[in-house]
């Protein structure tokens, strides 16, 4: 149960960070608070900040909401002993980690600017994956009857 709670809390942090980046991308938040000189703005106004016309941050919001939903569903008493929610959390967060690595590579080698908020999101999804993977391991060690 604990790892699902931690997953839900991390997913909510991810939702907040992604919403902030999305609001900036949509021009609702005028300037973005960022460490360094303009890396967040450069990354979030670059050609790689959208996929098929949809802001990357929107994918982040959607992805974290799905993870939050799964983690909350996994907290229901009837799901406590079932491993499915944890499996889904681990699988989807693994995809999220890969996507974050792809975005980080773009920042470092193509855009040549680092967006701190994107890195916060990357660390969040990595932590979520580690928590979910830890949950899977402990479920294997103590299989449900």
Partner 1 sequence: MAEAGRSLKSFYLLLGGIAVVGIVLILHAALGGKAPPIVMAECGGPPLGGVAPRGVVAGPDSAPVSINEYADFECPACARFAVLTMPDVLQRLVPTGKLRWQFLDFPLNQHANSPLAHITAACGAAQGKFWEMSYTLYAHQDDWFADKDPEGKFLSYARAAGLDADSLKVCIDQRRPWPQIEANRCSGEKLHVDGTPTFFVNGRQLAGIPAYDDIARIVDSVAAARAAGARR
For partner 1, the binding residues (CB under 8 A) are: 1-2, 5, 8-9, 12-13, 15-16, 19-20, 23-24, 26-33, 37-38, 41-42, 44-45, 75
Chain centre to alpha carbon of residue 54: 17
Please state the closest distance from residue 37 (CB atom) to partner 1, in A: 8
Please state the closest distance from residue 72 (CB atom) to partner 1, in A: 9
* C-alpha to C-alpha distances, 107 to 49, 69, 101, 120, 140, nearest whole angstrom: 10, 30, 10, 14, 38
Please state the closest distance from residue 40 (CB atom) to partner 1, in A: 9
102's tokens: 């792809």
Indicate the residue among 15 and 90 with the shorter CB distance to partner 1: 15
Indicate the residue among 19 and 94 with the shorter CB distance to partner 1: 19
Q: Cα separation of 39 and 1, whole Å?
A: 38
Indicate the residue among 17 and 92 with the shorter CB distance to partner 1: 17
Q: Cα separation of 111 and 72, whole Å?
A: 37
Q: Cα separation of 117 and 139, whole Å?
A: 33
Please state the closest distance from residue 30 (CB atom) to partner 1, in A: 3
């Amino acid at each position: 149960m604990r790892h699902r709670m931690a997953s839900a809390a991390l997913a909510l942090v991810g939702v907040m960070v992604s919403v902030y980046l999305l609001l900036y991308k949509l021009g609702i938040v005028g300037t973005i608070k960022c460490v360094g000189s303009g890396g967040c703005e450069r990354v979030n106004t670059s050609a790689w900040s959208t996929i098929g016309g949809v802001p990357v941050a929107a994918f982040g919001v959607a992805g974290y909401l799905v993870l939050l939903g799964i983690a909350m569903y996994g907290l229901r008493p009837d799901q406590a002993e079932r491993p499915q929610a944890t499996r889904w959390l681990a699988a989807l967060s693994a995809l999220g980690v890969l996507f974050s690595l792809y975005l980080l590579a773009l920042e470092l080698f193509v855009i040549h600017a680092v967006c701190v908020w994107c890195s916060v999101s990357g660390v969040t999804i990595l932590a979520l994956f580690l928590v979910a993977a830890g949950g899977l391991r402990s479920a294997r060690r103590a299989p449900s009857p």
